[in-house]
């Protein structure tokens, strides 16, 4: 009997309906087509404010004309530093209509993190939340950015909405920037008509954490996005009647490729959620009849554990999916029992534009109660350290191939060559197995990447910032199990002699919060006399992780 190897290719029979050929047009032309078909239909509902497809098309045209008026041309990079909001969606489409490349990044980043991405991407302008302008302005000025546009989240909101506390302040005049509402309030004539080659021209530089230190910009084309939009809309049956919760951030590949672009392709409605609050989301599901969405597993845990969960009517939900971290089988079972919809599991990466290729459970191919990642949406193989495909049931590294694979890493040819292989495969660095039915199971990351609440965190980047503390002699960061986040960040720190007994673990935690985004900053710190190392001096993070498990 021939042994089955861990290779699989997508079968159209698995999905709700066959995946059509991806539209061979720029991402923004799909918006234009949808706006012509359903001009008065809600495209976005944000903080109870509704924006039609016609208005989204018109306002993004205005933003594109504004960028062109600044002298920005095809291929220029424009950064965004925004929470999920109507303005972020207008900006995304406006940037693309101008022929520019969007560079979205986390609104929680701090000064040095902001500088790294802006400088590395060579962004010429940035759209940022007004609250973070004081951090952005000195960096933008030092780098010579040509324009800063500030967004006040409440500009698209209704009085009936529950505004997150962080965004609830009054609008203030911002010196040294243009106001987003002034920009889109002016008619500058027709938006530029830029010729785009969907398979070659970039739509986005999406910065993703690696294990070598600082983030890398994955180069994602218009075709990458269109392929995944068609795959998700067809494979999971997104309809024009759907109202999708947009909980994954739009600076994350999940928010873009799993929700926004499939919704626009299908003519559905998106509800951007700027900050997760279980009570608010439960209220929105009931009030607006939300029907579909992706979210990290932690969000569903938060909903189920809300003290008033039982009083909400969630019957409008017809399709729910989780990705960003392995989905516990127990969570799927509890969700099915209490909500009545199946919680589909999914796996993807920034470099594969989330789902294309990735792995998902689908309408006609799912494996409840097993903790599966799903089946491939393109091609997948599981290989050993020599690149040989292993027998099914054997642990190896996941390699993905398909039309959603990015073009490589911006300005990083060596790292691109290492991960993006000549025959079209992308080496994920994630290890797992494939069973006899083709379902994938996650085992561990070959890389040391930490995944906390769906965010990828590079230990080396966190360590870089910890080393800036004058008391830190050495530091090693690992992911440790966390009941809510899946993993959380723990730092093992060797203090300098003069700091011992004077600097506390809480001091290091506070320093981390000051220096880096909250999701990256260590939540736990342990002082240690010496870090475990191999003969060449490399820190053995594996030993630290094992130590953590043993102490439990």
pLDDT by residue (tens digit) across 120-179? 999 999 999 999 999 999 999 999 999 999 999 999 999 999 999 999 999 988 999 999
521 in Cβ contact with 479 (< 8 Å): no
Domain count, the chain: 2
Q: How confident is the model at residue 1 (pLDDT cuts 50, 70, 90)?
A: very low
In a domain, 455, yes or no: yes
Say if residue 334's pLDDT is above 80: yes
pLDDT of residue 473: 85
Residues 328 and 470 occupy one common structural domain? no
328-333: which pairs have CB atoms within 8 A and are 24 or more residues apart? 328/297, 328/371, 329/368, 329/369, 329/370, 329/371, 331/297, 331/300, 331/301, 331/304, 332/368, 332/369, 333/368, 333/369
Provide the greatest CA pair distance for the chain: 74
Domain span at residue 531?
450-551
Q: How far apart are CA 439 and CA 110, in angstroms?
A: 40
In a domain, 212, yes or no: no
Give me the mean pLDDT over the 422-445 stretch: 91
Residues 427 and 454 occupy one common structural domain? no
In a domain, 406, yes or no: yes
In a domain, 80, yes or no: no
In a domain, 326, yes or no: yes
Please give the span between the terminal C-alpha atoms of the chain, in angstroms, as a whole number.
44
pLDDT in tens, 514-525: 999 999 999 999
Query: 296-323 b/e with 16+ CB inside 10 Å = b?
Result: bbbbbbbbeeeeebeebebeebebbbbb
Flag the least confident range among 22-31, 125-134, 287-296, 324-333: 324-333
Residues 282 and 339 occupy one common structural domain? yes
Q: Give the number of other CB atoms < 10 A from CB of residue 208.
A: 18
- The DSSP bridge partners found for residue 441 are 433
Say if residue 450's pLDDT is above 90: no
Residues 293 and 424 occupy one common structural domain? yes
Average pLDDT, the chain: 93
Residues 291 and 425 occupy one common structural domain? yes
Domain boundary among 398, 421, 440: 440
**What DSSP line would sit under 466-530, residue for residue?**
HTTSTTEEEEEEEEEEETTTEEEEEEEEEEPGGGTTTS-HHHHHHHHHHHS-TTTS-SEEEE-S-
In a domain, 335, yes or no: yes
Residues 240 and 382 occupy one common structural domain? yes
174 in Cβ contact with 4 (< 8 Å): no
Q: What is the CATH number of the domain that holds 498?
A: 3.30.300.30
Residues 485 and 428 occupy one common structural domain? no
Residues 382 and 489 occupy one common structural domain? no
In a domain, 388, yes or no: yes
pLDDT in tens, 309-320: 999 999 999 999
In a domain, 142, yes or no: no
Domain boundary among 386, 415, 440: 440
216 in Cβ contact with 207 (< 8 Å): yes
pLDDT in tens, 169-209: 999 889 999 999 999 999 999 999 999 999 999 999 999 87
Give me the mean pLDDT over the 100-118 stretch: 95
Residues 490 and 411 occupy one common structural domain? no
Give me the mean pLDDT over the 234-263 stretch: 95
pLDDT of residue 210: 59
* E strands in 33-146: 42-46, 49-52, 77-81, 101-104, 125-129
Residues 338 and 271 occupy one common structural domain? yes
Residues 435 and 516 occupy one common structural domain? no
Say if residue 290's pLDDT is above 50: yes
Domain boundary among 440, 461, 495: 440
Residues 355 and 494 occupy one common structural domain? no
Q: Measuring CA to CA, which residue among 310, 308, 304 is closest to residue 332?
A: 304
85 in Cβ contact with 108 (< 8 Å): no
Q: How far apart are CA 326 and CA 145, in angstroms?
A: 39
Enumerate helices (H) and strands (E) in the chain, giving the number of each: 16, 26
3-class state of residue 459 by DSSP: helix
Q: What is the CATH number of the domain that holds 303?
A: 3.40.50.12780
474 vs 67, residue with greater confidence:
67
Q: How far apart are CA 465 and CA 521, in angstroms?
A: 9
Give me the mean pLDDT over the 7-31 stretch: 91
């Amino acid at each position: 009997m021939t042994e089955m190897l861990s290779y699989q290719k997508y079968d159209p029979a698995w999905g709700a309906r066959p995946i059509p050929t991806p539209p061979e047009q720029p991402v923004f032309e799909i918006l234009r087509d949808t706006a012509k078909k359903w001009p008065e239909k809600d495209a976005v509902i944000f903080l109870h404010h509704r924006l039609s497809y016609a208005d989204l098309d018109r306002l993004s045209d205005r933003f594109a004309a504004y960028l062109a008026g600044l002298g920005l041309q095809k291929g220029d990079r424009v950064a965004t530093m925004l929470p999920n909001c109507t303005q972020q969606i207008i900006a995304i489409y406006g940037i693309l209509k101008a022929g520019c490349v969007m560079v979205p990044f986390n609104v929680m980043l701090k000064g040095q993190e902001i500088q790294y991405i802006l400088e590395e991407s060579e962004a010429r302008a940035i759209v940022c939340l007004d609250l973070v302008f004081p951090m952005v302005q000195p960096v933008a000025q030092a780098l010579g950015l040509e324009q800063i546009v500030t967004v006040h989240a409440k500009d698209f909101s209704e009085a009936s909405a529950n505004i997150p506390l962080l965004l609830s302040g009054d609008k203030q005049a911002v010196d040294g920037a243009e106001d987003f509402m002034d920009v889109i309030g002016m008619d500058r004539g027709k938006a530029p008509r830029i010729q785009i080659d969907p398979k070659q021209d970039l739509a986005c530089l999406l910065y993703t954490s690696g294990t070598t230190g600082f983030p890398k910009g994955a180069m994602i084309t218009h075709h990458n996005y269109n392929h995944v939009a068609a795959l998700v809309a067809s494979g999971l049956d997104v309809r024009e009647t759907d109202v999708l919760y947009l909980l994954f951030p739009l600076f994350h590949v999940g928010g873009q490729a799993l929700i926004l672009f499939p919704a626009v392709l299908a003519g559905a409605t998106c509800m951007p959620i700027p900050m997760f609050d279980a009570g608010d989301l439960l209220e929105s599901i009931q009030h607006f009849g939300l029907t579909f969405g992706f979210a990290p597993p932690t969000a569903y845990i938060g909903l189920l554990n809300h003290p008033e969960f039982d009083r909400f009517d969630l019957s409008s939900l017809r399709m729910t999916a989780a990705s960003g971290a392995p989905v516990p089988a127990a969570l799927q079972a509890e969700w099915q029992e209490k909500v009545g919809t199946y919680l589909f599991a999914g796996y993807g990466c920034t470099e594969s534009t989330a789902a294309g290729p990735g792995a998902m459970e689908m309408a006609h191919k799912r494996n409840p109660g097993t903790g599966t990642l799903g089946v491939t949406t393109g091609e997948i193989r599981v290989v050993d350290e020599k690149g040989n495909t292993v027998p099914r049931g054997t642990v190896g590294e996941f390699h993905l191939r398909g039309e959603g694979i990015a073009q490589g890493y911006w300005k990083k040819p060596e790292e691109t060559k290492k991960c993006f292989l000549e025959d079209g495969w992308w080496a994920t660095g994630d290890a797992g197995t494939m069973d006899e039915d083709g379902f994938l199971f996650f085992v561990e990351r070959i890389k040391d990447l930490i995944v906390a609440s769906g965010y990828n965190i590079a230990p080396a980047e966190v360590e870089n910032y910890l080393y800036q503390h004058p008391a830190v002699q050495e530091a090693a960061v690992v992911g440790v199990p966390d009941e809510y986040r899946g993993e959380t960040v723990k730092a093992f720190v060797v203090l300098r002699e003069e700091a011992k007994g004077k600097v506390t673990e809480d001091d290091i935690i506070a320093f981390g919060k000051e220096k880096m985004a909250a999701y990256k900053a260590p939540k736990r710190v342990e002082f240690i006399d010496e870090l475990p190392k191999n003969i060449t001096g490399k820190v053995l993070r594996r030993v630290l992780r094992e130590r953590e498990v043993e102490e439990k």
